[in-house]
A and B are shown apart, each in its own frame.
Chain A
Amino acid sequence: MKVKVFSIFLIFLMVGWAGAGGFELYEFGAASSAMSGATVARAWDASTVFYNPSGIAFLEDGAHFYGGVTLISATNKWTGADPIFSDEQHTSVDNIHHPIGVYFTYQFNESIYAGIGVTNPFGLGLEWEEDFPGRSISYNTDLKSFYVSPVLAYKIMDELSISAGLDIVFGEITLQRYVRLFDSEGSPGFEAAKSTIEGSSNMAYGFTASIQYKTDNLGLGFLYRHSVENKLENADAKFTALDTYARPVAETNLVDQKVNSAITFPNFFSVGVYYKFLENFGAEVDFMWYNWSVFDELILDFEELPSVVIPEEYENSIQFRLGLHYDFALDWQLRAGYIYDQTPQPIQSVSPLLPDNDRHDFSIGLGYTLNKWQFDAGYMLVDFGERSTVENGEGKNHDGFDGTYASIAHLLFISVGFHFE
């Protein structure tokens, strides 16, 4: 009569370990980011390796270096739904994240160009204090992706370039939560342990294909980035039993073990138009489409514990981006932008791990050119607004963890470029 299989309320993992809405990051380069990443139709610096690698053929002749860092400070607030979580108000822990973007491009001849970029385009960090009532869903998540992207571009004619690129991808993940046992209808179960999952994904591969058209005043661009299937193999799941009645059960059943999972970063395309209205003023509008419906569920395959299937049920999503630049003085550039970012996350999946919402992002930045050097800095406000999992008095979260989230993120970009002639 040994009861070995305990149903475990494991809402682990890498919800949206990628992606727009979800948690795509925009900070591939300070200049582009200050224009809200609306740069698929026009290349400004070597960060175009990421935005649209065809653009490397339109950079000034020679080789280019561009690199920088983004400092991200996000604050999430949560207020619990009455009457289940009366008087529960919580704020996430202040952590600064600092993804990088480093690029190098090289010109072989009039037609053939190469480039490479190292970026962290997808990531998430969200930590709550441990008294947070949603701690059994997640109290600390830290995800990083690393993209190494070699690209080749071919200038078909003076105004038209095409490119192909490879994405070599791996990720790192840390997830911490409390584990509940013995959940049943009407009860979330009994907190019995804390768990930490830490691991790195296998190397995964994707590709990009893009095209860009450029005249002095007009730019057109299109980028397709293929999906990447990331496999997390042999990640470490560690458990610490809490001092409760269920301690022996936790110690017996929640033993440290390996866990496997997989998640597909969605494929997406980006299409945009740039137009230079004045000699010192131009604007770009981009449209993006993400195939987020690939993120339907997340399967956690534990070595010993029963597998856990978490429904995510993401929907495809779109973005609009607007970028502006104004060269207000010799060698000085002012940039600004706006993004409307539709969330792919359905209401039932809005959770402490990743409370997403439709976002409005506002960016501004400054650039300064000094001979072969380029210095860029910028700022973006990411406003998630408020999103409640309660609709018309009904709790929608699939774990019954209902409340209203509010989030704001501040991003500060700094990059430096150098032009080797």
Chain B
Amino acid sequence: MKKIFIFILILSITFFFACKPDQPSAPQLNVTLQELALSKIVMVGNSLTAGYQSSGMMEDFQLNSYPYQLFQQVASLTGATEFEQPLVSEPGIGLPAGDGIILTPLYLDSEGNLTSDTLTVSPLLLLKNALLSRPYDNLGVPGADLNDLLNTYGGVPTNPWFDMILRNPNFGNTTQLKQVAMLQPTMVLLWAGSNDVLGAALDGGDLDQITSQADFQSRMQQILTQLRNDLGAKPIIMANIPYVTDIPYINTVDHIFVGQGNTPVLFDNNLQVISFPGVPGDGYLPLLTVESNVEHITLEGLLAYQQGLGVPDSAYMVDNLGLQSAQASQLQSGMILAGLIPTGLPLGETMTLTSTESSTIKDAVDGFNTTINALATTFQVPVVDANAALTELNENGIDGASGRFVLVAPTNTAFSLDGVHANNAGNAIVANEFIKVINAILQLDTPIPEVNVSTKLGQYVPGMAKATLGKSILNVKKIFSKKEVF
């Protein structure tokens, strides 16, 4: 009896000791992988992503950046509440003006003039979110090109934004891409590369500023390789590069190129070409440029023109146009009456783009976009065709918004006052382009709603956000400093 008990006991204990729990079956969460992809979206790029407008950064702009507008649309589905940006308080941080002076972003003063003020406080005091203990969800850094995404973590003397946004050494001297990874996002939007060609256009066709196709290809490949290594299969969506010559900074006065030679002629302060009495033909007088075969005059050229550059004086007309001095003097008086300042000095080469320069720049953009499409296939990255959207904007408008500059289309322009960067409405259009692609790849039961662009029209006026302008603007009075337009 005893022995049987002991035997059974030992046997059963041995049996039980070997017993392990079964592997439980996987519980199912009420969420799809596609919905999960929306839980943490991080955007990386340059000023277009940062929400830079009107030559500067300011909270009102940033809260209308396409990343933030897109986040708000996603949040309307998911209930998300957290999207952090390097917010800059009013009056905002604009361009440096030398001697340590920093300007505010451009704005329209009460007379409708483009204006910017001198900042009277340290820019650091305007940073509202500098102590955030993690990287920002919007990692657009104004001025960043592809090389910067890969290698720059701060300390760029000519561009304080790397320090203000990446905040190194606090984050271990990490680049934009590394900070993306440190956030462990579920989706990344990448819009980069326009600064690899933009400078060439803004500087009036300085082709040396274009990154070579080989370098662009290798850097973009490195960027996507690094993102894929860090993120695995998580969705990455990338936008291509718009034609940087199809922006108001470059094309605002394209209509003053007339005649068989398609040459620039004098125009008044309403940007209308002037027909001078007594001048043969249409009565147009040539606008003087250093370069020949000019196709575009930049906004910097427009400003210089308003100060007299490019406007022939009587001496010029006598010497070069074969006019009699009496007629030349009369025409000069007419110019002055029209608000022009005759100097006889031509617009410099940095203010104009020749047809060769324009086509070289467009070819570069085409090459970059071909590279983007090829790499997108390799890395399984859907592409937002930002370039097509810009063309559509310029040709037909999008949702009531226009691609023309505020001087020409004050109430419905999609561009901010610097003529390069989108305004709130332009950012809404970009957000919608991304939303369309995200909806297409995720196939959500409830798609992300698009932004109503018409609610975003109008330009920022200090103390009067989203004001709609009623009158046309006559003068570009303040400086566009091309080298510092990021």
A residues sitting closer than 8 Å to B (CB atoms) are 1-3, 5-7, 73, 75-86, 89, 91, 181-190, 245-249, 252, 328-329, 332, 334, 364, 366, 379, 381, 384, 386, 388-390, 392-395, 402-408, 410, 412
Choose among B20, B82, B186 the residue with the greatest number of A CB atoms under 10 Å from its CB: B20
**How many inter-chain residue pairs (CB < 8 Å) link A and B?**
172
What is the CA–CA distance of A419 and B137 in the complex, to the nearest angstrom? Answer: 72
B234: min CB distance to chain A, Å: 11
CB pair B29–A390 under 8 Å, yes or no, is yes
CB pair B39–A186 under 8 Å, yes or no, is yes
CB pair B183–A190 under 8 Å, yes or no, is yes
Q: Does B463 sit within 8 A of A, measured CB to CB? A: no
What residues on A are CB-neighbors of B39 within 8 Å? Answer: 185-187
A80: min CB distance to chain B, Å: 6
Q: Does B120 sit within 8 A of A, measured CB to CB? A: no
Binds A, one of B111-119, B172-180, B363-371: B172-180
What is the CA–CA distance of A390 and B29 in the complex, to the nearest angstrom? Answer: 7
Q: Which residue of B lies closest to A89 (CB)?
A: B23
B residues sitting closer than 8 Å to A (CB atoms) are 1-2, 5-6, 9, 12-13, 16-17, 19-33, 36, 39-40, 80-82, 84, 124, 127, 130-135, 137, 167, 169-174, 178, 181-186
* Cβ-neighbour of A395 out of B29, B127, B183 (below 8 A): B29
What is the CA–CA distance of A366 and B134 in the complex, to the nearest angstrom? Answer: 60
Extra 20 A-B pairs, beta carbons < 8 Å, given A1-B131, A84-B29, A246-B182: A3-B171, A75-B20, A78-B24, A183-B134, A184-B137, A184-B183, A186-B82, A187-B184, A187-B185, A189-B184, A246-B174, A248-B169, A329-B1, A334-B5, A364-B13, A390-B28, A393-B28, A394-B30, A404-B27, A410-B19
* Cβ-neighbour of B40 out of A3, A187, A390 (below 8 A): A187
What is the CA–CA distance of A85 and B26 in the complex, to the nearest angstrom? Answer: 9
* Cβ-neighbour of B36 out of A83, A390, A402 (below 8 A): A83
B135: min CB distance to chain A, Å: 6
B21: min CB distance to chain A, Å: 4
Question: Contacts A3-B167, A403-B27 known; A248 to B82 CB distance under 8 Å?
Answer: no
Question: Contacts A75-B21, A332-B2, A407-B21 known; A82 to B27 CB distance under 8 Å?
Answer: yes
What residues on B are CB-neighbors of A2 within 8 Å? Answer: 170
CB pair A182–B36 under 8 Å, yes or no, is no
What is the CA–CA distance of A7 and B127 in the complex, to the nearest angstrom? Answer: 20
Question: Contacts A184-B183, A185-B40 known; A388 to B5 CB distance under 8 Å?
Answer: no
What is the CA–CA distance of A394 and B27 in the complex, to the nearest angstrom? Answer: 10
A81: min CB distance to chain B, Å: 5
Question: Contacts A1-B167, A190-B184 known; A249 to B172 CB distance under 8 Å?
Answer: yes
CB pair B82–A402 under 8 Å, yes or no, is no
What is the CA–CA distance of A384 and B24 in the complex, to the nearest angstrom? Answer: 12
What is the CA–CA distance of A334 and B8 in the complex, to the nearest angstrom? Answer: 12
CB pair A412–B29 under 8 Å, yes or no, is no
CB pair A82–B21 under 8 Å, yes or no, is no
Can you list 14 A-B contacts with CB-CB less than 8 angstroms, sorted by A residue number? Answer: A77-B23, A81-B27, A184-B183, A186-B80, A187-B186, A329-B2, A332-B2, A364-B9, A394-B29, A403-B24, A403-B27, A406-B22, A407-B21, A410-B17
What residues on B are CB-neighbors of A3 within 8 Å? Answer: 131-133, 167, 170-171
What is the CA–CA distance of A25 and B6 in the complex, to the nearest angstrom? Answer: 26
CB pair B81–A185 under 8 Å, yes or no, is yes
CB pair A404–B24 under 8 Å, yes or no, is yes
Q: Which residue of A lies closest to B180 (CB)?
A: A245
What is the CA–CA distance of A83 and B27 in the complex, to the nearest angstrom? Answer: 9
Q: Which residue of A lies closest to B32 (CB)?
A: A83
Q: Which residue of B lies closest to A191 (CB)?
A: B184
CB pair B182–A182 under 8 Å, yes or no, is yes
B152: min CB distance to chain A, Å: 15
B227: min CB distance to chain A, Å: 13
Question: Contacts A187-B183, A249-B170 known; A7 to B27 CB distance under 8 Å?
Answer: no
Question: Contacts A3-B170, A410-B17 known; A184 to B134 CB distance under 8 Å?
Answer: yes
What residues on A are CB-neighbors of B29 within 8 Å? Answer: 81-84, 390, 393-395, 402
What is the CA–CA distance of A404 and B25 in the complex, to the nearest angstrom? Answer: 8
CB pair B185–A5 under 8 Å, yes or no, is no
CB pair B26–A81 under 8 Å, yes or no, is yes
What residues on A are CB-neighbors of B19 within 8 Å? Answer: 381, 408, 410
Q: Which residue of B lies closest to A406 (CB)?
A: B21
CB pair A185–B21 under 8 Å, yes or no, is no
* Cβ-neighbour of B21 out of A73, A249, A389, A408 (below 8 A): A408
* Cβ-neighbour of B20 out of A1, A89, A408 (below 8 A): A408
What residues on B are CB-neighbors of A247 within 8 Å? Answer: 172
What is the CA–CA distance of A402 and B72 in the complex, to the nearest angstrom? Answer: 27
What is the CA–CA distance of A390 and B82 in the complex, to the nearest angstrom? Answer: 25
What residues on A are CB-neighbors of B27 within 8 Å? Answer: 79, 81-82, 388-390, 402-404
CB pair B171–A249 under 8 Å, yes or no, is yes
What residues on B are CB-neighbors of A328 within 8 Å? Answer: 1-2, 5
Q: Which residue of B lies closest to A2 (CB)?
A: B170
Q: Which residue of B lies closest to A252 (CB)?
A: B172
What is the CA–CA distance of A76 and B23 in the complex, to the nearest angstrom? Answer: 9
CB pair B21–A366 under 8 Å, yes or no, is no
* Cβ-neighbour of B82 out of A184, A245, A393 (below 8 A): A184
Question: Contacts A366-B6, A390-B29, A410-B16 known; A190 to B24 CB distance under 8 Å?
Answer: no
* Cβ-neighbour of B134 out of A75, A76, A86, A182 (below 8 A): A182
What residues on B are CB-neighbors of A410 within 8 Å? Answer: 16-17, 19
Choose among B29, B32, B82, B171 the residue with the greatest number of A CB atoms under 10 Å from its CB: B29
CB pair B183–A182 under 8 Å, yes or no, is yes
What residues on B are CB-neighbors of A334 within 8 Å? Answer: 5
What residues on B are CB-neighbors of A332 within 8 Å? Answer: 2, 5
CB pair A393–B13 under 8 Å, yes or no, is no
Q: Which residue of B lies closest to A393 (CB)?
A: B30
A357: min CB distance to chain B, Å: 11
A352: min CB distance to chain B, Å: 14
Q: Which residue of A lies closest to B230 (CB)?
A: A245
CB pair A248–B173 under 8 Å, yes or no, is yes
What is the CA–CA distance of A189 and B84 in the complex, to the nearest angstrom? Answer: 15
CB pair B24–A245 under 8 Å, yes or no, is no
What is the CA–CA distance of A78 and B24 in the complex, to the nearest angstrom? Answer: 7
What is the CA–CA distance of A187 and B42 in the complex, to the nearest angstrom? Answer: 11
* Cβ-neighbour of A406 out of B16, B23, B36, B124 (below 8 A): B23
What is the CA–CA distance of A83 and B30 in the complex, to the nearest angstrom? Answer: 9
CB pair A82–B24 under 8 Å, yes or no, is no
B33: min CB distance to chain A, Å: 5
What is the CA–CA distance of A388 and B27 in the complex, to the nearest angstrom? Answer: 7
What is the CA–CA distance of A243 and B107 in the complex, to the nearest angstrom? Answer: 47
What residues on A are CB-neighbors of B2 within 8 Å? Answer: 328-329, 332
What residues on B are CB-neighbors of A392 within 8 Å? Answer: 30
What residues on A are CB-neighbors of B178 within 8 Å? Answer: 245
* Cβ-neighbour of A186 out of B17, B21, B40, B131 (below 8 A): B40
Nearest 4 CB-CB pairings of A with B: A393-B30, A248-B172, A186-B40, A186-B39
Q: Which residue of B lies closest to A404 (CB)?
A: B24
What residues on A are CB-neighbors of B182 within 8 Å? Answer: 181-182, 190, 245-246
Choose among B27, B81, B181 the residue with the greatest number of A CB atoms under 10 Å from its CB: B27
CB pair A73–B36 under 8 Å, yes or no, is no
CB pair B25–A79 under 8 Å, yes or no, is yes
CB pair B31–A83 under 8 Å, yes or no, is yes
What residues on A are CB-neighbors of B127 within 8 Å? Answer: 1
B28: min CB distance to chain A, Å: 5
What residues on B are CB-neighbors of A86 within 8 Å? Answer: 26
Question: Contacts A185-B82, A190-B181, A246-B182 known; A388 to B170 CB distance under 8 Å?
Answer: no
* Cβ-neighbour of B133 out of A6, A82, A84, A390 (below 8 A): A6
What is the CA–CA distance of A82 and B31 in the complex, to the nearest angstrom? Answer: 9
A419: min CB distance to chain B, Å: 22
What is the CA–CA distance of A187 and B33 in the complex, to the nearest angstrom? Answer: 14
CB pair B184–A79 under 8 Å, yes or no, is no
What residues on A are CB-neighbors of B170 within 8 Å? Answer: 1-3, 249
What is the CA–CA distance of A183 and B134 in the complex, to the nearest angstrom? Answer: 8
CB pair A182–B135 under 8 Å, yes or no, is yes
What residues on A are CB-neighbors of B25 within 8 Å? Answer: 79, 404
